[in-house]
């Protein structure tokens, strides 16, 4: 890991209704029907602050704003804090890990 460590990855559980979004479904062809849907992101803020920004519509992702239920710290807190470049890589890797487990994931 390199650089200053003041970035975080985070995971938001999404309401199952997100599955009705065709773009979300197309991005997750391998989803196990019984698995939860997630949004994975990275931020220079705390995960809690970033989640609130999503819900308030400030620099938010549509799925996180409209369908975001709660943060899932057990899925990400062991990785934080990270440098910016490590957070970028971890965001992608965390999304891959969850998809391999059959979850539907949106990651920018």
Q: Write out pLDDT tens, residues 16-57.
A: 999 999 999 999 998 877 889 999 999 999 999 999 999 999
For residue 55, the SS3 value is helix
Determine what percent of the chain is predicted with pLDDT higher than 70: 97
Nearest to 43 by CA among 3, 6, 93: 6
Is 60 a residue whose pLDDT tops 60? yes
Which residue, 82, 73, 13, 78, is CA-closest to 43? 82
Residues ≥6 apart with Cβ < 8 Å to 100: none
What confidence score (pLDDT) does residue 33 get?
77
Q: What is the pLDDT of residue 3?
A: 67
Over range 6-22, report the average pLDDT.
96
The answer to whether the predicted template modeling score (pTM) of the entire model surpasses 0.85 is yes
């Amino acid at each position: 890991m390199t650089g200053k460590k003041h970035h975080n990855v985070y995971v938001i559980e999404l309401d199952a209704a997100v599955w009705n979004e065709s773009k979300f479904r197309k991005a997750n062809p391998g989803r196990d029907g019984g698995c939860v849907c997630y949004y994975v992101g990275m931020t220079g803020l705390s995960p809690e602050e970033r989640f609130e920004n999503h819900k308030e519509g400030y620099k938010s992702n549509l799925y996180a704003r409209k369908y975001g239920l709660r943060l899932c710290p057990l899925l990400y807190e062991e990785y934080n804090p990270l440098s910016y470049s490590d957070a970028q890589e971890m965001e992608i890797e965390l999304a891959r890990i969850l998809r391999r487990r059959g979850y539907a994931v949106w990651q920018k």
